[in-house]
Amino acid sequence: MRIAAIDIGTVTSRLLVADVDASGVHTAVRRSTITDLGMGVDATGRLAVESIERTVDVIASYKEIIDECGAQTPVDRVTALATSASRDAENADEFVERLHAVGIDLSVIPGRREAELSFLGASNDFRGENLLFADIGGGSTELAIGRADAPAGALVPEVSMRAFHSFDVGCRRMTERFLHGDPPSEAEYAEARAWAAETLAPFFAQADLHVDRLVAVAGTPTSVVAVRDALVPYDSSKVHKARVSREQFDGVKERLGRMPLAERMQVPGIQPKRAGVFPAGALILDVVMELAGVDGFTASESDILMGIVLDAARQSAE
């Protein structure tokens, strides 16, 4: 079966079209565009008109890609989900209606469902391991501890999560609340760190942290790998499952965190449109590693998009 998955986050809108058969999941098309849907939502509680327009234009182009893929092989299911910014916005219904007009039926999902799907997608590549999972988005961070197990040859693993939570701590939200300087001041970084640590600490205080690795997804950890290795152009095959040590992470975080935005945008490996929120994302990842007591992380390209595809395949088989 052919499945199309769309994830509309606070910062990025992404598309995955994949073919699923007994041998596994095979990517047909993957797209990612920084649309900044959630710009200003933390302060106003509303999606800005220009943010809606910008994002609808991108999703309409994704719909054209899906239709082109369907002309080759029928697309059996299209699932489009929106996360933190749309959850927070009082005018999310307007955004849903605009997407319906271009042929996309959007579901705004709660944080728990986001964590479940993201963990399913990420843990699939680390079957049999006890994982700490972090999805650092623009408006929220999803944390989970669990594992995925499956008999040999099983397409979709059985996932068990011992603990999980969605926190309203994200790189766009943190940037807009605290990091106003260019570059941010030490005082701004300290205030932002204290906020993130205070918010996330209860999860780690009550969770069983006997894990084999920290798996981190979304634009911050993948950008760390890309900057560390100066990946130009970006190469997902070199980023996926790449291990980043604490020392390597600290080097990237400190170097980019001291740069003004114009200079940061020129760093090989970082998307210019992500440069503005990267310091906040790195700070959140830093806090996660510190609270968890781990000495690095594994970056993953498999996240909620893969989770959507695997979940659809599981439902189809039932």
Confidence band for 318, pLDDT divided at 50, 70 and 90: low
Range with the poorest average pLDDT among 139-143, 247-251, 253-257 = 139-143
Segments making up each domain of the chain, as ranges: 2-109, 126-300
Domain 2-109 has CATH 3.30.420.40: yes
- Torsion angle, alpha carbons of 36, 77, 17, 141, to 10: 40
Q: What pLDDT was estimated at residue 16?
A: 97
Per-residue confidence band for 68, with pLDDT thresholds at 50, 70 and 90: very high
Question: Which element (helix H / strand E) includes 237?
Answer: helix 236-239
CA distances from 207 to 25, 136, 164, 201, 273 (A): 32, 19, 9, 10, 35
Q: How confident is the model at residue 207 (pLDDT cuts 50, 70, 90)?
A: low
Q: Is the pLDDT of residue 241 over 80?
A: yes
Q: What is the mean pLDDT of residues 158-162?
A: 91
Q: Looking at residues 119-143, what average pLDDT do you find?
A: 94
Q: How far is CA 106 from CA 8, 81, 92, 172, in A?
A: 9, 6, 10, 22
Q: Which CATH number fits domain 126-300: 3.60.15.10, 2.60.120.10, 3.30.420.150, 3.20.20.70?
A: 3.30.420.150
Q: Which of 236, 230, 225, 223 is nearest to 271 (CA)?
A: 223
Point out which residues pair with 82 in neighbouring strands.
8, 108
> Do 2-109 and 126-300 fold alike per CATH?
yes
H/E element holding 214? strand 213-217
What is the rounded distance in angstroms from the CA atom of residue 215 to the CA atom of residue 221?
A: 9
**Rounded to two decimals, what is the model's pTM?**
0.90
Q: Quote the percentage of the chain above a pLDDT of 90.
A: 88
155 in Cβ contact with 100 (< 8 Å): no
**CA separation for the pair 34, 163 (Å, rounded):** 30
